[in-house]
Amino acid sequence: MRFLKILMMAGALSLSAVFALAQDVPPPVHGVTFEEWASASARISNRTSEDEVFKTLAIDKAQFDAVNETFTQALKDDKDFKLITYYGQAFSNLNAGRFAASTQETKRKLASFDDYARVTGHMEAATDVGIDPQKVLEEHGLTVFEYSQDGAYWVGQLRDKSLSGKTAEVSGWTDGIGKYKSEYAARYAKK
């Protein structure tokens, strides 16, 4: 439940931050915009080869390392979290900037809310005992990008149901996450 609340708050905050952020986005490095860097990071996390990413951006590994270092430092220096929020939005777009010429679609792997609830409950139980969430995603055959995309879809569905007054359905969905969290917590307690 806590994880779900965090995702919903992040979504709400991200909408307002976009408008206030335009002047705070760092300038391009080696011709790579902040948005392209986020898209490149998403593609790499989604198993696109680095060579393909570098070719699209017309840079080499050393230049990408400089881009990565500069923009990562900008995120570290972001005291009010505007840039981090913007990065999250940009990361969710595989097709920003020069990547638009080679659009990449992702199929929803968490096809049902139950699929999403299972992974989310598992991640909540795992993080409670100090297990890296990425290990959980690997166990379910997901990349960080895939989970973030599917999670955004299901959180949006929850939001829509909540706004339309379907509180019983929302409660059922959040109870489903809790059920899986308990199931996985019991599994970890045995170890």
**pLDDT mean by block of 10 residues, the chain; 191 residues:** 46 44 81 94 87 94 96 93 86 81 73 94 96 94 87 87 89 94 94 75
Angle at 15 between CA 38 and CA 25, to 5 degrees: 40
The angle at the Cα of 74, spanning 68 to 78, to the nearest 5 degrees, equals 145
Q: What is the pLDDT of residue 23?
A: 57
Q: Residue 27's pLDDT is what?
A: 96
| Nearest-angstrom CA–CA distance, 117 and 174 | 8
DSSP string, 96-114: -GGGGGG------S--SHH
The reported pLDDT for the residue numbered 92 is: 78
- Per the CB < 8 A criterion, the answer to whether 135 and 188 are in contact is no
d(CA 117, CA 109): 13
Taking the C-alpha atoms of residue 102 and residue 88, their distance in angstroms, rounded to an integer, is 21
Q: Are 88 and 14 in contact (CB under 8 A)?
A: yes
Query: What's the pTM value of the predicted model, to 2 decimals?
Result: 0.57
pLDDT for 4 equals 44
Q: Where are the domains of the chain?
A: 2-102, 113-189
pLDDT, residue 24, reads 83
Residues in contact with 4: Cβ distance below 8 Å, sequence separation at least 6, in sequence order:
120, 155, 158, 174, 177
pLDDT of residue 107: 74
